[in-house]
Amino acid sequence: MSILVVGSVAYDTVETPSGRAERVLGGSASFFAVAASYFAPVNLVGVVGDDFGEQQLAAFRGRPIDLAGLERAAGKTFHWQGRYSQDLNSRDTIRTDLNVFEFFQPKIPAAYRRSELVFLGNIDPVLQREVLAQVEKPRVVACDTMNYWIKGKPEELRETLAKVDVLLINDQEARELSGEWNLVKAARAIRRMGPQTLVVKKGEHGVLLFGHESCFAAPALPLETVIDPTGAGDTFAGGFIGYLASVRETSDATLRQAVVMGSTLASFCVEAFSLDRLLTLTRMQVGERYAVFQALTRFESV
Ligand code: AMP
Cβ of residue 228 lying under 6 Å from some atom of ligand 1: no
Query: Residue 32 CA to chain centroid, in angstroms?
Result: 5
Buried (b) or exposed (e) across 228-260, using 16+ Cβ within 10 A?
Answer: bbbbbbbbbbbbbbbbbbebeebeeeebbebbb
pLDDT digits (tens, 9 = 90+) for 247-260: 988 899 999 999 99
Tally Cβ neighbours within 10 Å of residue 63: 15
What 3-state DSSP class applies to 135? Answer: coil
Q: How confident is the model at residue 302 (pLDDT cuts 50, 70, 90)?
A: confident
The residue type at 163: K
Alpha-carbon distance values, 294 to 92, 93, 221 (Å): 34, 35, 11
Dist. CA 149 → ligand 1 center (Å): 13
pLDDT digits (tens, 9 = 90+) for 192-236: 999 999 999 998 899 999 987 789 999 999 999 999 999 999 999
Cβ of residue 262 lying under 6 Å from some atom of ligand 1: no
Dist. CA 230 → ligand 1 center (Å): 8
- In eight-state DSSP terms, residue 159 is H
Cβ of residue 10 lying under 6 Å from some atom of ligand 1: yes
- Distance between CA atoms of residues 29 and 43, nearest Å: 10
The sign of the dihedral angle between the CA atoms of 46, 64, 280, 57 is negative
Question: Which atom from ligand 1 is nearest to the alpha carbon of 148?
Answer: 19
Cβ of residue 234 lying under 6 Å from some atom of ligand 1: yes
Question: Which atom from ligand 1 is nearest to the alpha carbon of 11?
Answer: 12
Phi/psi-derived region of residue 49, left when phi > 0, alpha when psi is between -120 and 50, beta in every other case: beta
Question: Which atom from ligand 1 is nearest to the alpha carbon of 26?
Answer: 10
Cα maximum dimension of the chain: 64
Cβ of residue 96 lying under 6 Å from some atom of ligand 1: yes
As to burial, measured by CB atoms within 10 angstroms (0-12 exposed, 13-18 middle, 19+ buried), residue 87 is exposed
Percent of the chain residues past pLDDT 90, beyond the cut: 94
Dist. CA 27 → ligand 1 center (Å): 5
At a CB cut-off of 8 Å and minimum separation 6, what does 33 contact? 5, 42, 44, 60, 65, 238
Q: What is the β-pairing status of strands 3-6 and 10-16?
A: unpaired
Cβ of residue 143 lying under 6 Å from some atom of ligand 1: no
pLDDT digits (tens, 9 = 90+) for 136-183: 999 999 999 999 999 999 999 999 999 999 999 999 999 999 999 999
- In eight-state DSSP terms, residue 270 is T
pTM: 0.97
